[in-house]
Structure 1
Amino acid sequence: MAAGNIDEVVDGLAEVVRDARRDGDRIGYFAALYRQVTVEVRTAIHQGQFDDGARMDRFDTYFGNRYFEAYDAWRRDRSGPRCWREAFGLLDDSDTVIVQHLLLGVNAHINLDLAVAAARTCPGASIHTLRRDFLLINDILGRVVLEVQDSIDALSPLLSLLDRIGARTDERILDFSIRRSRQEAWHDAVLLAGQTEEEQAETIERLDIRAAVLARLIARPGGLVRPALELIHATESDDVPAVVAHLDRAMERPAARRSTDD
């Protein structure tokens, strides 16, 4: 699939989510998170929050198509970027917890795709005009992460308990990781924007290798993290369609709670 604008990105992600719910496919976990981020970005465009809304539409479309290209390549013949192959390769692993699947998608999309999409949107010196809008998305990501974290808590009781004991430490770590990754992605975007096609190919290859290494660390962590994940896995829901549906409604719940409070 290929999107021509941000509306088609949202529609394409919604289709992935629908198929995942029907088939019980864990690919819907990250797709549900990503769909909600994209809806929030689209809302911000319509509200005039970005310096250049039309440019952000193009940027988000390039970004979304990077995901669709990886998705289609994996479905076709298990090909595509290394980091996405690492993420998709664990979809049938029932021992991988929900948070791991989300982080694997976030890792590939931010640590590889984001810089590529930014450089394509604003090649050459024009990349610097994108900086404010690029960084503004951090706030959107942070808001979605907060609500999706609440959804995960409902699906994973032990993670919810750790949340309360740790004063939402895991959420702050996730938010910080996303922000730091986006900061690195910005530097990579500036680099790519000033390179020739041959140089870009080499840089993209390097970024893919780095993201693939990070994916392996997320998938198979060492130390005390592994037994902690095993405990979390033992308590969280294994109903994949229900998990996908729950995650896909994460951003609807704040409005519902505000309505109830009123």
Structure 2
Amino acid sequence: MADLIERMRGLRSRWPGTDGVAVFNRVYLAVTEEIRLRIDAGEFPDRRTAVTLDVLFARRYLTAVDRAESGGRPPACWRPLFQYRRHPGVRSIQFALAGINAHIGHDLALAVVDSCAALACEPADLEGEFDRVGEILTLMEERVREDLMPGPDALEIADPLTHLLGSWSLDRARDGAWSAARLLWNVRGLPDLAEEFTGGLDRAVGLVGRCLLTPRA
């Protein structure tokens, strides 16, 4: 985890603060540092499982960054964030939630499957750590909304952005990720079906991300 944190800190120093990917990176760095502190404090009974899940989860974000930075195509779930990262009509809160959507909606399910394969266990064996990480993510999302949401003078109740951001739920995304992970694990012996489902999940999460990044007029 120390290597992952250093990598994210390095990205933070490279990108301007207004960059959309940098906004998400700051949020995710804070989450990862918080999880590491709690693991070190013994709040996760199964340290090995918690570290494995967190590391494999974070690597999927960093792989998307590497692909984009090298001129390749990141997964569809991440493309809207990289495409709109410098759009002046998109607010920081939108960038943050679009990144969280990509990482939770797509990457988390695959990270659970990766972790089960690495640890030779079933998804049910990871459920406790999955839920503990989810509780931290929920707290961080609340903090993101408090810190990045425009104030009442800048954002009226009737503003479309209020409706847009209120329509996305981290809890629903987590529930969907858990269901997707269980399904993918159960069809792991059917690679064509697993690939088809993973591709559809990737595209669907990308569509949600594109909606979250709708520029304000």
Q: How many positions carry a matched residue from both structures?
A: 209
CA-CA distance at 1:40 after TM superposition = 1.2
Q: Output the CA distance in 1 between the equivalents of 2:170 and 2:156.
A: 20
Given residue 74 of structure 1, which amino acid in structure 2 is its aligned partner?
A
Find out whether 1:190 has 2:182 as its counterpart: yes
CA-CA distance at 1:58 after TM superposition = 1.2
Structure 1, residues 156-199: CA drift from partner, whole Å, max 9, x if none?
33477659xxxxx98x948x711110011001111122213443
Q: Does the residue aligned with 2:50 lie in a helix, a strand or coil? A: helix
State the match for 2:99 in structure 1. 105
Q: Output the CA distance in 1 between the equivalents of 2:58 and 2:151.
A: 32
Find out whether 1:149 has 2:141 as its counterpart: no
Q: Output the CA distance in 2 between the equivalents of 1:64 and 1:80.
A: 15
Given residue 193 of structure 1, which amino acid in structure 2 is its aligned partner?
W
Find out whether 1:210 has 2:197 as its counterpart: no
CA-CA distance at 1:132 after TM superposition = 1.6
Q: Output the CA distance in 1 between the equivalents of 2:58 and 2:16.
A: 20
Residue of 121, 124, 127 corresponding to 1:128:
124
Residue of 36, 40, 60 corresponding to 2:34:
40
Structure 1, residues 200-231: CA drift from partner, whole Å, max 9, x if none?
322211110111121222123xxxxx7xx44x
State the match for 1:80 in structure 2. 74
Find out whether 1:12 has 2:42 as its counterpart: no
Given residue 103 of structure 2, which amino acid in structure 1 is its aligned partner?
H
Given residue 147 of structure 1, which amino acid in structure 2 is its aligned partner?
R
Q: Verify the 8 A CA contact 1:125 1:193 in the aligned structure 2.
A: no
Q: Does the residue aligned with 2:19 lie in a helix, a strand or coil? A: coil
Structure 1, residues 42-84: CA drift from partner, whole Å, max 9, x if none?
1121122223111111111111110011111111114121121
Stretch deviating more after TM superposition (64-73 or 43-52): 43-52
Residue of 33, 58, 65 corresponding to 1:64:
58
Q: TM-score, normalised by structure 2?
A: 0.85
Q: Percent of aligned pairs with the same residue?
A: 25
What RMSD over aligned residues (CA atoms) do the two structures have, in Å?
A: 2.6
State the match for 1:235 in structure 2. none
Q: Verify the 8 A CA contact 1:118 1:189 in the aligned structure 2.
A: yes
Q: Output the CA distance in 2 between the equivalents of 1:20 and 1:36.
A: 16
Q: Output the CA distance in 1 between the equivalents of 2:37 and 2:126.
A: 18
Residue of 162, 166, 169 corresponding to 1:177:
169
Given residue 179 of structure 2, which amino acid in structure 1 is its aligned partner?
H
Distance change (3 Å), C-alpha of 1:33 and 1:53: same
Unaligned runs of 5+ in 2: none
Q: Output the CA distance in 1 between the equivalents of 2:166 and 2:86.
A: 26
Q: Output the CA distance in 1 between the equivalents of 2:153 and 2:31.
A: 23
Q: Verify the 8 A CA contact 2:20 2:81 in the aligned structure 1.
A: no
Q: Verify the 8 A CA contact 1:9 1:64 in the aligned structure 2.
A: yes
Larger Rg: 1
Q: TM-score, normalised by structure 1?
A: 0.72
Residue of 126, 133, 136 corresponding to 1:137:
133
Structure 1, residues 95-140: CA drift from partner, whole Å, max 9, x if none?
1111111121011111110000011101476211111210122221
Distance change (3 Å), C-alpha of 1:70 and 1:46: same
Q: Output the CA distance in 2 between the equivalents of 1:35 and 1:59.
A: 16
